[in-house]
Amino acid sequence: MKIDKTTPPLPASQIGELAPKSANARPTGGSAPANTRAPANETSVHLGNGSAQLRSMESHMANSPAVDKEKVEAIKKAISEGRFQVNPAAIADNLINSVQELIEADKSGRSHKA
């Protein structure tokens, strides 16, 4: 999969403009309203509710097992006993659906580029 840059790099003359103006400058914790401005010598960052949602999702995923061990064991047992049946039509359908989703995601990603 190819990853494209969505924005052009900044010219070297603008890079210094984005750096903090003083050694004492520090980002705020995000508790300030988005419409307030920081003094000229500080940098302010507001992450909004999205960051809290991402942290919550990350915590939930970290506490969830990546693999359902019971299901894996049941499949292993079915294979070893000769009871596991492969459904080639279902595999083909799911593969086609997966490819179609990837194509649609690629198309929608390209439509936002200028």
User: Where along the chain do its domains lie?
Assistant: 16-86
Tokens coding 63:
């506490």
Q: State pTM to two decimals.
A: 0.33
Task: Say how many Å lie between the first and final Cα of the chain, rounded.
Answer: 20
Average pLDDT of the chain to the nearest whole number: 75
43-60 pLDDT, tens per residue?
Answer: 887 777 888 888 888 888
Tokens coding 45:
């960052």
25-38 pLDDT, tens per residue?
Answer: 454 544 545 555 65
48 Cβ neighbours under 8 A, 6+ residues apart: 30, 34
